[in-house]
Each structure stands twice: as C-alpha cells, then as structure tokens.
C-alpha cells in the first residue's frame, strides 16, 4: 500500500471518529433544548469561515469555475441541507436512534452501486461480501426492540431520503475533486449550506431565543467543536479520502460511524455494550477489512 492510500485510509478513519463524536456533542445541545436549526446554521457558518481563512493563509486557488456553480449548489443542497433536515425529522418520526442509525448505515450499498455504475470502480465479490458482513455486524451492535409510533414508516421513508442525499453529495464531491482541493470543496459546501439554512435559522432557530442559554459556554463549546472538528476537519479529510479511494470504498467507512459512536458512548460511561454487541463489533471490523481487499484479476461489475 503506497503512502497516498495510507493517508487516505487514515483520513477516512479520522472522519469516522469525528462524526461519531458529533452525535455526542449534538445530543448535549439537544438536551439543552438548543434548536437544530440554530446550532447547525451556526456550525456551518463557523466552519465555512474557518476554511476560508485557512485556504487564504495557504494560498489555495479558491476561484470557482462558472460551469461548477450548479454542482456546488447541488452539493450543498444534498449535504448539509437535505441530509440534516431528513435525518432530524426521520429520528423524530421513528422515535428510535437505533433504527435511524441502521437506515443511515445502508449508505454503502447505495454508494457501491454508484461507484460501480457511474464511476466504473472495481468492486470484487469479496468486497461485496464485506459490505454484507459489515451491515450484519452493525445490526447486532445497534439492534434493540423498539415500539413503533403512527409516523414510523413515514420516518423510515424520510431517512432513506437522507441516505440518498448523502450518496449524491459523495458523487458530486468525486466529480469536483478533480479540479478543486478538498478544503476548497468543503468551504463552498458549508458557505452555500449556511445560506440555504438561513430561512430556518431566522424562523425556527431563533424562536424563543434565550441569550443566557444559547450563548453560554455550555452551548458554545459543543457548537464550536462540531464546527471545527466534525465539519471543517472531518469533511475535508472525507473529501480527500473520496479523491484517493473512490466512492464505493470510502463510503463503506460510514457504516462504522454507529459502531464507533457506541464504543465512545461506552468509554464515556453513557452506554454499556453486551457480549453479543461486542461480537457484532468484531464481525463488522472483519467486514470492513474484506471491503478493502484489492481486486486480483476478475472483478464484479454488477
């Protein structure tokens, strides 16, 4: 494995760790009754400004080509706008973080199809088996019996919209990565995304605004952490991984986010895993390994 691919794998794993932490920081904000429309909008603005400052300092070429404007708008519409809205309402309607994480974890299956059909990426039968094993292990870790409410199936449908929007943004990122650096792509993604969120910010986000609560360090700390680590850093490293590894292989790492979240919750004393759940974690890791095995001679294209 050459150094570029090693750095790409490390970037993908860093992204997984930071996005896993985002659930913990976001949960803290929700416990403080900070509206999603408020902290997501502020998170995007801070991340976009930080990346603009970083790109300016590094002398990056930030000129946007006219033919790419529409692609950047679609990128920002898919992620963060549609994804965050769909994920939030999907979670609200299903009333189950477990089911939510399972639906989102089907992302690699859709991304694998995109990688194969659109980008003509090589994906062997062993790689496909690895995806199935990964999802099976993830199911074992996160599954629990949950009562369903009247809006449950509506929530399931909305969550699949979130999955499709995430796969779509990965595909657009792949196209743009040939002409822009990862940090520039993510910078425009967040700045455009912040603009898309403005109507929600000024309506639902500021509804019942309480400066003592919204602007306290207890609220600002997780928002800054989300912006700096889970947005600016994680999305940049993710764009780099997509550029080097491709859509299909990179997206498999997304299936691990719920697993890493469960482990971090265990380490922070917020959740305890059973023996069967630890077994599921081990199975998922085997699956991830199989998805990354390089093709030999024949490859599976369908």
What pLDDT score does 31 carry?
A: 81
Phi, then psi, of 123 in degrees rounded to 5: -145, 110
pLDDT of residue 302: 43
**Tokens standing for 176?**
């743009």
* % of the chain residues with pLDDT over 90: 28
Q: How far apart are CA 186 and CA 181, in angstroms?
A: 9
| Angstrom distance (rounded) from CA 290 to CA 200 | 42
CA atoms of 7 and 271, how far apart (whole Å): 32
Q: What is the DSSP string of 97-136?
A: HHHHHHHHTTHHHHHHHHHHHTS---B-HHHHHHHHHHHH
pLDDT value of residue 73 = 93
Q: Which two tokens stand for residue 159?
A: 């969550």
Per residue in 127-154, pLDDT (tens digit) is 778 778 877 876 776 665 455 667 878 8
Q: Is residue 81 a contact partner of residue 162, using CB atoms and an 8 Å limit?
A: no
Write out the H or E segment, with its range, that includes residue 14: helix 3-31
Contact 250, 110 (CB under 8 A): no
Residues 86-121 pLDDT 10s: 887 787 787 666 667 767 777 766 766 666 666 666
For the record, the structure tokens of 64 come out as: 């946007």
Q: 226 and 43 in contact (C-beta within 8 Å)?
A: yes
More confident residue, 275 or 179: 179
Q: What is the pLDDT of residues 156-207, one digit of tens each?
A: 889 889 888 988 887 788 889 888 998 899 999 999 999 999 999 999 999 8
The answer to whether the beta carbons of residues 119 and 247 sit under 8 Å apart is yes
Alpha-carbon span 78 to 18, nearest angstrom? 20
What would the mean pLDDT of 235-258 be, rounded to a whole number?
79
pTM for this prediction: 0.75
Q: Which residues pair with 123 in a beta bridge?
A: 300
Per-residue pLDDT, 206: 92
By CB atoms closer than 10 A (0-12, 13-18, 19+), residue 29 is: buried
Name the DSSP letter for residue 180: S
Distance CA 94, CA 92 (A): 6
Contact of 75 with 189, CB cutoff 8 Å: yes
Neighbour tally for 165: CB within 10 Å: 21
Q: How far apart are CA 49 and CA 52, in angstroms?
A: 5
């Amino acid at each position: 494995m050459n150094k570029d691919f090693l750095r790409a794998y490390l970037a993908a794993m860093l992204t997984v760790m930071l996005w896993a932490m985002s659930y913990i920081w976001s949960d803290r904000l929700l416990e403080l009754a900070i509206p999603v429309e408020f902290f997501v909008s502020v998170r995007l603005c801070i991340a976009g400004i930080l990346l603009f400052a970083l790109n300016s300092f590094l002398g990056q070429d930030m000129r946007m080509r006219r033919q790419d404007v529409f692609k950047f708008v679609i990128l920002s519409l898919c992620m963060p706008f549609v994804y965050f809205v769909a994920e939030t309402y999907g979670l609200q309607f299903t009333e189950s973080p477990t089911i939510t994480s399972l639906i989102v974890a089907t992302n690699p299956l859709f991304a694998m199809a995109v990688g194969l059909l659109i980008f003509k990426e090589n994906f062997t039968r062993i790689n496909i088996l690895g995806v199935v094993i990964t999802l099976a292990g993830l199911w074992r870790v996160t599954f629990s019996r949950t009562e369903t409410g009247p809006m449950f199936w509506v929530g399931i449908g909305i969550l699949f919209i979130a999955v499709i929007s995430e796969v779509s943004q990965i595909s657009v990122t792949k196209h743009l990565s040939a002409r822009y650096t990862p940090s520039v792509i993510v910078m425009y993604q967040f700045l455009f995304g912040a603009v898309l969120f403005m109507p929600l910010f000024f309506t639902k986000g500021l509804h019942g605004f309480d400066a003592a609560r919204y602007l306290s360090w207890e609220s600002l700390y997780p928002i800054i952490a989300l912006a700096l680590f889970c947005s600016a850093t994680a999305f940049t490293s993710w764009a780099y991984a997509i550029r080097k590894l491709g859509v299909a292989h990179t997206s498999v790492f997304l299936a691990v986010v719920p697993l890493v979240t469960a482990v971090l919750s265990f380490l922070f004393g917020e959740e305890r895993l059973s023996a069967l759940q630890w077994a599921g974690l081990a199975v998922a890791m085997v699956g991830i390994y199989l998805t990354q095995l390089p093709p030999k001679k024949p490859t599976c294209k369908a």
